Amino acid sequence: MKFPTFPSLLAGVLLAAAPLAPATAAEAPAVAVAAPAKAASATRIEPTFWWVGMKNPKLQLLVHSPGIADSKLTLAAYPGVTLDGTQKLESPNYLLVNLTISPEARPGKLQLSFAGGKTKLKYAYELRARSTDKSRVQGINSSDFIYFLMPDRFANGDPKNDVVKGTRVGHIARDSMYARHGGDLKGIEQHFDYLKSLGVTAIWPTPVTTNDMPKTSYHGYALTDFYSCDPRYGTTEEYAQFVQKAHQNGLKVIHDVVLNHIGSYSNLFLDQPAKDWFNQWPAFTRSNYNSQALNDPYGAQRDLDLYNKGWFDTSMPDVNQSNPLVATYIIQNFLWWVEYTGLDGYRIDTYPYSDPKFLMAWGKALLEEYPQLGMFGEAWVGSTAQQAFFARNILPPVNGFKSNLPGVLDFQSNYAIQDALKEKGNVTKLYDALQGDWLYEDATRNVVFMDNHDMSRVYSVIGESLPRLKMGFAWLLTTRGIPQIYYGTEILMKNFSAPDGLVRADFPGGWKEDKTNKFTAAGRTEPENEAFNYVSKLGTYRKAHPVLQTGKLMQFIPQDGIYTYFRYNDQGETVMVMLNSNQDEKTVDGGRFAERLNGYSSGTEVVSGAAVSDLKTFKVPGWSAVVVELRK
């Protein structure tokens, strides 16, 4: 998610822009206070159900019902389940129930009886059996190629859910970049084959949880219900089925989440369990959006408080994760989504903004329960050291924080590739971006990308140069880490992030009324097919060759505008990559790379299939990449 402003974090680096998606100030009052509480007409218990056999036997239920706080709870005898007590909160409409579910407990329904207060209620709470499929949660790693998309803007597979009765947005308007357009899960499913033809192995949709905000709700980053899929994408059950169908098609699913804040129309905010469930200020107070406050040895406490406790935007209440009850609520929710759906990984939006101790507890709890779960976070910062601070690293703890997040979105290499592909680009920055990998425990868990939903599309940034974009694709699919492509980049979708948000335009052909269908070769122009075919060739090659997934990387200091690196492994596979950032063809002396070329006599250029018989001298056309599979 993009922040409203972003101070310069590094000399020469300034990323300041108006937000594309966050809700506007018109959506919520300028003062961060709760909206008038609305009494619930029906009981809500969260988590909505749970499982026996979880490693952590403790379960915290948040019960919401009018006047429930004064009720006394009775739990009918259930073997293996113990009622540890209840806890009142400030709101009379909430009651916390604490349970212990021993390993001996079996699936069934707990009979909960609330009586003695304003509410008399009987509730059958379901305990389910956990999945026995050990390979169900596959994880995300460097063998994957991620396709990042916005469900609302990708394809409309089920027009019947375009408008859902009872939601705050009762229409779609494809002529508005800030309205809903009708894309959904079914639309993604219908194009699984398209994704697979690119060599894609994992799908990352922007958040699919319910976002029932009155404006700009399409992006999903201001959730209003932790435990449901947005009905305009599909039902919660259909989302679980979507994950299963993706797995059946050889595609993993990454679940995009926000830990730091929620939407101001969430039930939890409209009727707050207690004031200390949110970071409250006398008047609306924004975050300062500066993560350096977390580890500045000379920093002021006010700056730290503003960063971690200030609100991301007027309609995005900042959750108080230092409250242990809130922390447990959030942790249980993200355990729930994994067990219920079998999703493969989490992408964590605005990762650094959350309470640092909570982040460690959240990561520990999820990885203890699902060690194979993939996780990477958005740490939109200005230096390699600051980025490494938010992943597993070799650095000592700072103020008690030591990240356990496996990887991050690699903004440092993103800055570098965008700069390298410009008309007077500097490929040395690509070398520099990877040189700092020594700070990470394992930099191959970082996600590399050229653009996303928060920034100008790379094709526009580099002056709509197809040769240079193909260079970028070559880098993306051969460098270290987990490659991620933003939907439509493979068909030359363009535009800048400001002022109209067209970087989030619909994928042409995703709606039956579209005049062209760029999911098909016939619907694409010749340049679009050239770009698509280039990605497809390299993406499918990468999928079939472990050397580009898990191989070691050796890079050589760029000379004369040419960046050369090798991917190699112990099985004898070696791929050489050369990027020429000059307009003119360059001749490169292969003798400089003898330590990697020795033992090889020839090769094949991966994309063109051309034979390479001379490894002593290479001629690299201007603004191009050569990817050579070496042969002995």
Identify whether the C-beta of residue 184 lies closer than 8 Å to the C-beta of residue 161. yes
Tokens 């980025």 sit on residue: 387
174-193 burial, b for 16+ CB within 10 Å, e for fewer?
beebbbbbbbbbbbbbbbbe
Determine which one of 349, 451, 490, 506 is catalytic.
349
CB-count burial class (<10 Å; 0-12, 13-18, 19+) for 147: buried
What DSSP string describes 159-220? GGGSS-TTSS-----TT-TTS-----HHHHHTTHHHHHHTT--EEEESP-EE---SSSGGG-
Q: Which of 238, 313, 378, 528 is catalytic?
A: 378
* Dihedral sign, Cα of residue 292, residue 296, residue 301, residue 302: negative
Let me know: does 490 contact 524? Beta carbons within 8 Å. Answer: no
Torsion of CA 435, 439, 443, 447, to 10 degrees: -90
Q: Reduced to 3 states, what is the DSSP secondary structure of residue 98?
A: strand
Question: Is residue 551 a contact partner of residue 577, using CB atoms and an 8 Å limit?
Answer: no
Amino acid, single-letter form, for residue 524: R
Known active-site residue 349: yes
Among all chains, which residue has been given the structure tokens 């090659």?
541
Q: Which residues contact 266 (CB under 8 A, 6 or more apart)?
A: 223, 224, 225, 317
Q: Return the axis-axis angle of helices 428-435 and 411-420, rounded to nearest 10°.
A: 170
- CA-derived radius of gyration, the chain: 26
Residue 397: DSSP 8-state: P
State how far the Cα of 285 lies from the Cα of 316, in Å rounded to an integer.
Answer: 11
- Three-class DSSP category at 87: strand
Count Cβ atoms within 10 A of the Cβ of residue 496 and give its class: 0-12 exposed, 13-18 middle, 19 or more buried. Answer: middle
What is the DSSP secondary structure assignment for residue 313, as one 8-state letter?
B
Q: Which residues pair with 229 in a beta bridge?
A: 209
Rounded to 5°, angle at Cα 52 from 51 and 56: 90
Please say if 514 is a catalytic residue: no
CB-based contact 602:631 (threshold 8 Å): yes
Active-site residue numbers? 349, 378
